[in-house]
A = this chain, B = another copy of it.
Amino acid sequence: MRCDVIAVGTELLLGQIIDTNSSWIGEQLAAHGISSHIQVKVGDNVDRITEQLRLRLDEADAVIMCGGLGPTHDDLTRDAIAAVMGVELRHDDEVAEAIIELFASRGRRMAANNLRQAQVPEGATVIPQRRGTAPGLICPVGTKVIYAVPGVPHEMHEMMTRAILPDLVRRSGRPSVIRSRVLRTWGESESGLNERLDAVIAELDTPGDDKPTLAFLASGWEGIKVRLTAAAPSAAAADEILARWEERIRGVVNDIVFGVDDDTMESVVLSLLREHDQTLAVAESVTGGLVTGRLTNVPGASKVLRGGVVSYASDVKFEVLGVSPGPVVTERAALEMARGVRRQLGSSVGLSLTGVAGPDEQDGMPVGTLIVGLVLGDGSEHVATFRLPTTRDQMRQMSVITALNFLRQRLMAQ
């Protein structure tokens, strides 16, 4: 089964908006065992949209069109589909009703052109809207099919998940339930992971119905995601396959798995602290507040995180945190920062980061040096030095997750 993708909108060609939609769709198609060979961006021109749609439908079994379903005269996806189907557009009363109602419920005046969105190619099935005004479309063309979804990402995601992916999977004749699980890892390169999981990957590559597909998704300073996707006749059977292979993989690389699915390093660290009934304060130098900035992105962080001190100037380290005079990119200074912030902010755990983001070296330490200090609730002290990339932004972002992972590992060991 092959499904190509057309993203419609002149703003995409002009680079005013980056087409993330077809990437998201491509990822979903792959996870559901459907190939996608060509993905096209085309502007708001009905002849060009129609031509591209014809070309894609000639080659593929299905085409997803994204965007161009709005109310203005630039929204031409409906017209192009009708042309390719060889049918007229008809006014759909139910869709019109839903649009009028949506505006009424929000107390907003409806411009008449909104009813353009109730135009539907003859023979098409409407995917009702749940979030916006433009409905989606399922348009059969012989044994093939054209889908149309709005270009607004959250509206598109919702319709893809609710209506289009299930329809595609049904047409592909594969087992009908697809489930996936993501293992979040930190501390190993993609090639390193590949090497360690060599035997597991080889086993997955041999034929067999009860085997998931495995993909590595690099997500920069978020680490590498290992995604397992299983297809099975039932959700329970798919989950059983996932559980079995998750265990296999954890048997090899459990040391670097910090979470699953929607877990983030910060959510995992906050949960661990909560479980251990601990509170946290952070002293940051090189990261300048990014660690607490990231922790506080988790709703409810305030139950655990008391706060932090950004001691960017050296004498703030001396005066506010009580670090003893001298060089500040040292393990001694890192430990004194952790002790100081723990005392000043009255937390049970104190974490600190000092280092060199550049452009110049400092205290004889090269750019890319990170030192993490930690005092735990039982008073035990831990410190470690890391060598990170030397690009300023990368170094700082890697420092954040490196320090949080250091804290996570020490909490797990308690």
Contact = CB atoms under 8 A, between A and B. Distances in A.
Interface string A20-44: 1011111110100000111111110
A302 B310 CA distance: 11
Nearest to A285: B307
Contacts of A125: none
Contact of A288 (B36, B40, B42, B296): B296
Q: Contact residue range for chain A?
A: 35 or more
Contacts of A37: 13, 42-43, 45, 48
A104 interface: no
A214 interface: no
A43 B60 CA distance: 14
A297 interface: yes
Interface in A276-310: 282, 284, 287-293, 295-297, 299, 301-302, 305-310
Contact of A13 (B36, B45, B302, B307): B36
A23 B18 contact: yes
A18 B15 contact: no
A14 interface: yes
A161 interface: no
Contacts of A36: 13-14
A296 to B, nearest CB: 3
B296 A305 contact: no
A244 to B, nearest CB: 25
A392 interface: yes
Contacts of A306: 312-313, 315-316
A23 B27 contact: no
A261 interface: no
B310 A307 contact: yes
Given A14-B30, A15-B27, A36-B13, A310 B297 contact: no
Chain A contact residues, majority secondary structure: mixed
Contacts of A413: none
Contacts of A292: 288-289, 310, 312
A344 B359 contact: no
A12 interface: yes
A166 interface: no
Contacts of A23: 12, 15, 17-19
A121 B287 CA distance: 48
A70 to B, nearest CB: 16
A52 interface: yes
A342 interface: no
A92 to B, nearest CB: 30
Given A299-B392, A308-B310, A42 B38 contact: yes
Nearest to A311: B307
A47 B41 CA distance: 20
Nearest to A313: B306
Given A292-B312, A307-B316, 13 more contacts: A13-B39, A14-B26, A14-B30, A18-B19, A18-B20, A37-B42, A287-B296, A292-B310, A297-B396, A299-B359, A302-B312, A307-B310, A308-B312
Interface of A: 12-20, 22-28, 30, 36-43, 45, 48, 52, 55, 215, 217-218, 282, 284, 287-293, 295-297, 299, 301-302, 305-313, 315-316, 319-320, 344-346, 358-359, 392-393, 396
10 A-B pairs with the lowest CB-CB distances in the bound complex, closest first = A288-B296, A289-B289, A15-B27, A289-B292, A289-B293, A15-B23, A308-B310, A15-B26, A290-B293, A39-B41
26 contacts: A12-B39, A13-B37, A14-B26, A15-B23, A15-B24, A15-B26, A15-B27, A15-B30, A16-B27, A18-B18, A22-B41, A37-B43, A39-B41, A287-B296, A289-B289, A289-B292, A293-B293, A296-B310, A297-B392, A306-B312, A306-B315, A306-B316, A307-B310, A307-B312, A308-B310, A315-B346
